[in-house]
């Protein structure tokens, strides 16, 4: 490369807080990841994103939002709850979910939380493997937690991880 050649900046991957104008994209990702009645509605997602005791992180490259994570917590509570983590199917298996999870956990730690908790469908083997790999342990099984038009109900595993 000569001195006259310019290096084009690549679109960098970025994790940041969601803004209200991201709701349409977040909802589209939610529909792709959790079709039918199992997914959150646009109104539910809007509420979760804007609620005082919620954190919504997005992962984007350039202007393209590829994934999001929502966490709920209570003031003066040591437990944060991961409500959902969604990676657009077109971008799965690239480590995006792991990066979002780690960023969400770091955010919870900054806010003084000592535990992270989540629920996952017992049939979602790849998500369970990710959570176990990152230190989540099985806490309890919750029967009929998820409802699906195609599969009826599905049990969930509640998992927890210490953040200290």
Average confidence (pLDDT) over 64-81: 95
Q: Which residues of 98-107 are buried (b: 16+ CB within 10 A; e: fewer)?
A: ebbbebbbeb
Residue 123: closest CA among 146, 101, 100 = 146
Average confidence (pLDDT) over 70-76: 92
pLDDT given for residue 9 in this prediction: 44
1 pLDDT more than 50:
no
Average confidence (pLDDT) over 44-53: 92
Q: Which residues pair with 154 in a beta bridge?
A: 146
Question: Which CATH code fits 13-162?
Answer: 3.40.630.30
118: Cβ–Cβ under 8 A, 6 or more apart, which residues? 81, 82, 85, 131, 136, 158, 159
pLDDT tens-place string over residues 3-46 = 444 444 446 789 999 999 999 999 999 999 987 767 899 999 99
At residue 148 the predicted structure's pLDDT band, cuts being 50, 70 and 90, is low
Residue 18: closest CA among 62, 69, 53 = 69
pLDDT given for residue 39 in this prediction: 85
Per-domain residue ranges of the chain? 13-162
Asked if residue 36 lies in contact with residue 149, where contact means CB atoms within 8 angstroms, the answer is yes
In 61-148, which ranges are continuous DSSP H helix? 96-110, 125-133
pLDDT tens-place string over residues 99-142 = 999 999 999 999 999 999 999 988 889 999 999 999 999 999 98
The span from the CA of 121 to the CA of 19, in Å, is 28
At residue 143 the predicted structure's pLDDT band, cuts being 50, 70 and 90, is confident
């Amino acid at each position: 490369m000569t001195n006259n050649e310019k290096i084009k900046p690549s679109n960098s991957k970025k994790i940041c807080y969601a803004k209200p104008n991201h709701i349409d994209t977040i909802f589209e990702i939610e529909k792709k990841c959790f079709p039918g009645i199992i997914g959150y509605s646009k109104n539910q997602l809007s509420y979760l994103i804007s609620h005082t005791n919620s954190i919504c992180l997005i992962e984007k490259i350039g202007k393209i939002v590829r994934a999001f994570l929502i966490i709920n917590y209570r003031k003066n509570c040591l437990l944060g709850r991961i409500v959902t983590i969604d990676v657009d199917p077109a971008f799965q298996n690239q480590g995006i979910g792991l990066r979002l999870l780690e960023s969400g956990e770091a955010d919870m730690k900054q806010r003084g939380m000592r535990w992270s908790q989540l629920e996952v469908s017992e049939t979602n083997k790849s998500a369970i493997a990710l959570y176990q790999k990152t230190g989540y342990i099985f806490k309890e099984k919750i029967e009929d937690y998820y409802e699906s038009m195609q599969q009826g109900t599905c049990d969930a595993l509640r998992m927890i991880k210490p953040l200290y």
